[in-house]
Amino acid sequence: MNTFSIRILAVGMGLLAFPHARAEVSLDSLLTEMADYSAVARWPEPSYQCLQASSHDRRTVAPDQPGWFANDDHTNFIRTETIAGRTEKVMLDAEGPGCLTRFWLTTVQNKRGTIRIYVDEQAEPVLSFPAYDLMAGELKLPEPMVMPHPGYTAEGNGGNTWMLPIPFAKRCKVTWEEQGSGPRYYIINYRKYAPGTKVASFSREALEKAGAAVQKQASRLQTAPARGDGKPALKSSIKPQGKTTLDLAGPAAIKELELRLTPPAGVALDQVLRSVIVRMQFDGQETVWCPAGDFFGSGAGLNRLDSWYRTVKEDGTLVCRWTMPFQKSALVIVENLGEQEIGSELRCETEPWHWDGRSMHFHAAWHYEAGLITPPQRDWDFVKLKGKGVYVGDVLSLYNEVATWYGEGDEKIRVDGEVVPSHLGTGTEDYYNYSFAPRGIMQTPFANQTRVDEKMTQGHNILTRTRNLDAIPYTSSLDFDIELISWAPTQMIYAATTYWYAFPGGSSNRKPQPEAALAKIPTLADAQRLPNPFPGAIDAEELKVTAATAGLVHEVQDMRPFGPGKWSRRSQLLVRGGKEGDAVTLRVPAPDAKPRKLLMAATKANDYGVLSFTVNGQKVEKSFDGYAPTVEASGEFELGTFAPVDGAFEVKVELSGTNPAAVGPRFYAGVDYVKLVEP
pLDDT in tens, 416-457: 999 999 999 999 999 999 998 888 899 999 999 999 999 889
pLDDT (average), residues 94-106: 96
Confidence category of residue 394, pLDDT binned at 50, 70, 90:
very high
- Asked if residue 13 has pLDDT above 80, the reply is no
Q: What is the pLDDT of residue 7?
A: 35
Q: What is the pLDDT of residue 20?
A: 44
Confidence category of residue 231, pLDDT binned at 50, 70, 90:
low
From first CA to last CA, the distance across the chain in angstroms is: 70
Kindly state whether residue 456 falls inside one of the protein's structural domains: no
Confidence category of residue 570, pLDDT binned at 50, 70, 90:
confident
- Asked if residue 9 has pLDDT above 60, the reply is no
Q: What is the pLDDT of residue 228?
A: 58
Residue pair 380/302 in contact (Cβ under 8 Å)? The answer is no
Do 242 and 131 share a structural domain?
no
Kindly state whether residue 600 falls inside one of the protein's structural domains: yes
Higher pLDDT, 603 or 404: 603
No. of helices (H) and no. of strands (E), the chain: 9, 47
The 3-state secondary structure of 622-677 reads CCEECECCCCEEEEEEEEEEECCECCEEEEEEEEEECCCCCCCCCCEEEEEEEEEE
8-17: long-range contacts (C-beta < 8 A, 24 or more apart)?
8/248, 8/249, 8/250, 8/251, 8/252, 8/350, 8/352, 9/352, 10/251, 10/352, 11/352, 12/352, 13/251, 13/352, 13/353, 13/354, 14/354, 16/351, 16/352, 16/353, 16/354, 17/354
Q: What is the pLDDT of residue 106?
A: 93
Q: What is the pLDDT of residue 229?
A: 58
Do 174 and 82 share a structural domain?
yes
Category of 307 on φ-ψ map: left (φ > 0), alpha (ψ -120 to 50) or beta: beta
CATH number at residue 574: 2.60.120.260
Summarised one tens digit per residue, pLDDT across range 237-275 is: 999 999 999 999 989 999 999 999 999 988 889 999 999
pLDDT (average), residues 530-553: 88
Summarised one tens digit per residue, pLDDT across range 444-503 is: 999 999 999 998 899 999 999 999 999 999 999 999 999 999 987 889 999 999 999 999
Do 175 and 26 share a structural domain?
yes
- Asked if residue 16 has pLDDT above 70, the reply is no
Q: Which of 221, 244, 274 is the last residue of a domain?
A: 221
Do 187 and 43 share a structural domain?
yes
Do 284 and 215 share a structural domain?
no
Q: What is the pLDDT of residue 226?
A: 67
Do 334 and 274 share a structural domain?
yes
Confidence category of residue 109, pLDDT binned at 50, 70, 90:
confident
Do 310 and 258 share a structural domain?
yes
Q: What is the pLDDT of residue 225?
A: 74
Q: Which of 354, 372, 403 is the last residue of a domain?
A: 354
Do 177 and 123 share a structural domain?
yes
Helix (H) or strand (E) holding 452: strand 447-452
Kindly state whether residue 53 falls inside one of the protein's structural domains: yes
- Asked if residue 5 has pLDDT above 80, the reply is no
Kindly state whether residue 567 falls inside one of the protein's structural domains: yes
Category of 14 on φ-ψ map: left (φ > 0), alpha (ψ -120 to 50) or beta: alpha
Indicate the number of domains in the chain: 3
Pairing of strands 171-178, 310-312: unpaired
Do 58 and 193 share a structural domain?
yes
- Asked if residue 535 has pLDDT above 90, the reply is no
Nearest to 170 by CA among 205, 198, 204, 130: 198
Secondary structure class of 469 (helix, strand, coil): coil
Q: What is the pLDDT of residue 273?
A: 97
- Asked if residue 21 has pLDDT above 50, the reply is no
Q: What is the pLDDT of residue 639?
A: 97
Kindly state whether residue 43 falls inside one of the protein's structural domains: yes
CATH number at residue 245: 2.60.120.1390
Q: Which of 286, 319, 354 is the last residue of a domain?
A: 354
Do 135 and 111 share a structural domain?
yes
Kindly state whether residue 105 falls inside one of the protein's structural domains: yes
Secondary structure class of 270 (helix, strand, coil): helix
Nearest to 120 by CA among 25, 31, 33, 199: 199
Q: What is the pLDDT of residue 11?
A: 29
Confidence category of residue 362, pLDDT binned at 50, 70, 90:
very high
- Asked if residue 159 has pLDDT above 60, the reply is yes
Domain extent for 335: 233-354
- Asked if residue 8 has pLDDT above 50, the reply is no
Kindly state whether residue 130 falls inside one of the protein's structural domains: yes
Q: How many CB atoms lie within 10 A of CB 561?
A: 9
Do 199 and 61 share a structural domain?
yes
DSSP secondary structure letter of residue 233: P
Q: CB-based contacts of 565: which residues, under 8 Å, 6+ apart?
A: 533
Summarised one tens digit per residue, pLDDT across range 216-225 is: 999 999 987 7
Q: How many CB atoms lie within 10 A of CB 476?
A: 11
Q: What is the pLDDT of residue 422?
A: 96
pLDDT (average), residues 595-621: 97
Kindly state whether residue 177 falls inside one of the protein's structural domains: yes
Do 262 and 216 share a structural domain?
no
Q: What is the pLDDT of residue 564?
A: 60
